[in-house]
Structure 1
Amino acid sequence: MSLRVEYLGWASFILTGPSGTRVVTDPYLSGNPRTKVPPSPVRPEDVHVDLIMVSHCAGDHFGQALEILANSETAKLLGDHSTLCLAERAGYGGTWDPRMELITSGAAYTQGDFTIHAVDARHIAFRHFEDGSYITGEPLCYIIRVKDGPTCFFGGDTSLTYDMKLWGELFHPDVAFLGIGGVDLRGRSLDEMDPPAAAVCAEMLGVKTVIPMHYRTREYLERFRQHLAVRCPGCTCAAMEPGESIVL
């Protein structure tokens, strides 16, 4: 086995490397009927990983990170400063806590089977609190190099940017986890990257496999397949259902 991928739903995957290192991405499992995002079939208390990798502090990406962090005394949280500040508000020690791993665009972090490079996401990181205060931060994408396995691009909530061509030339990713839709916002879909844009992203990255994420309806998936076949005909769309696992 080189890389096992389990889809939890929305933008959340558990990645298991060849020697057993486990990483969960953007662990939003609760869903939200208001935004029409369904809950994951997997409960936070059943997610046991070595690293929680968060792209930005938005609720539908930070999600249940703290609940999963509480499952283990050794699990770590990787993210930008605003992500770690959310953990600090919950009682962790902020940037200097040994379980908090700060990353910023251009930096890299290694744990077990994974070396993770952060690059800019074209988006906004924002979290509003009940007391009226809020926090903003640095939204990120991640290039995930797997020891003796594929190199993956995890897009988080990014929109399309020509930087993706540069990342393709620099990192040569094999697989891309790409958002192709968005949440329902009072009847309209707030799509950071829609199916046509996601197909262009795959083309610029030069990947051979795309795992679509961050979408609510089959219509989005079918549109993405159609656009991918035109823009990137040598690329496979490996769509997954929540709870499903594949090996890459």
Structure 2
Amino acid sequence: MKITYHGHSVLSIVMKDGQKLLFDPFITGNSLTDLIADEVKTDWILVTHGHSDHIGDMIPIAKRNDATVISIVEICNFAEKNGVQKTHGMNIGGKFDFPFGRVKMVQAYHSSGYEVNGQMLYMGEPAGFILQAEGKTIYHAGDTAYFGDMAFLGETFEIDLAFLPIGDNFTMGPSDAAVAAKKLKAKHVVPIHYNTFPVIKQDPEAFVQLLPENVGTIMAVGETIEL
């Protein structure tokens, strides 16, 4: 699989058979991304929680691509009410085998709401995703604080690559993320959710220095790695 980082928490994955996955498609309004929302092509959209900087362009991208939205059930219901034809609702602790691989929805300590016409809608519980496909295990933590059960994830899964937020203020910061990386025992860790806004300004190099040698990997926006 080929994994590309697109700024903030946006990832795209292309499987060997050509299936395309897109995580947290915050493109419009994301000053760091290399993507143009109207040009994105994907088959599946995975959304960790209901904040606008993660739902982002989910609805127009899903409609234009006839893509399936995978998320907590409340976000899937929201997508359906806004014209998305294909959704797959999940909940914390559940897993499902999709054509591209297995997805397990795991907890995240955060909040989740989406403002529509001045009113905040409840968008279910925030989550992270563990993707097992092509013999590899990928963890997208979403927006989360550090929590002790990350050790359980590290014991249960052999995580090849973990994407962890380091921005602080809204999520865990670099020091907590370094503890999380240790508990997860991930072979490689990529920092996400930083520098998009002034309040989450961080130095990713400083974060990498908190990790064991050769564990931390800083991905530039638009950079692709292959597993």
Report the TM-score when normalising by structure 2.
0.91
| Count of equivalent residues | 223
Q: For residue 192 of structure 2, what is the aligned residue in structure 1? A: 213
Counterpart CA distance in 2 for 1:154 and 1:222 is: 20
2:203 partner SS: helix
Q: From 57, 72, 78, give the equivalent of 1:64.
A: 57
- Displacement of 1:236 in angstroms is 2.0
Q: For residue 25 of structure 1, what is the aligned residue in structure 2? A: 23
- Displacement of 1:146 in angstroms is 1.2
- Displacement of 1:11 in angstroms is 0.4
Q: For residue 69 of structure 2, what is the aligned residue in structure 1? A: 77
Deviations 1:179-238 (A, max 9, x none): 1105xxxxxxx241100111111110101101111000774312211222xxxx155222
Instruction: Give yes or no for the alignment of 1:237 onto 2:219.
Output: no
The residue identity in structure 2 corresponding to 1:196 is S
Q: For residue 222 of structure 1, what is the aligned residue in structure 2? A: 205
Gaps of 5+ in 1: 32-36, 183-189
> What percent of counterpart residues are identical?
29
Deviations 1:63-118 (A, max 9, x none): 11112112223x100001221132133134xxxx5x11001011112222321101
Superposition misfits of 4+ residues, deviation over 4 angstroms: none
Instruction: Give yes or no for the alignment of 1:178 onto 2:164.
Output: yes
Answer yes or no: is the 8 Å Cα contact 1:181–1:220 preserved in 2: no
The residue identity in structure 1 corresponding to 2:64 is N
Q: For residue 134 of structure 2, what is the aligned residue in structure 1? A: 147
Report the TM-score when normalising by structure 1.
0.84
Q: Root-mean-square deviation (CA), in Å?
A: 1.8
Deviations 1:129-171 (A, max 9, x none): 22435224111111110123x2011100011001100011111
Deviations 1:9-56 (A, max 9, x none): 11011111222221110010123xxxxx52422111222111100001
1:240 partner SS: coil
Q: From 80, 83, 98, give the equivalent of 1:91.
A: 83
Counterpart CA distance in 2 for 1:77 and 1:54 is: 7
2:220 partner SS: coil
Counterpart CA distance in 2 for 1:20 and 1:115 is: 16
Counterpart CA distance in 1 for 2:79 and 2:170 is: 27
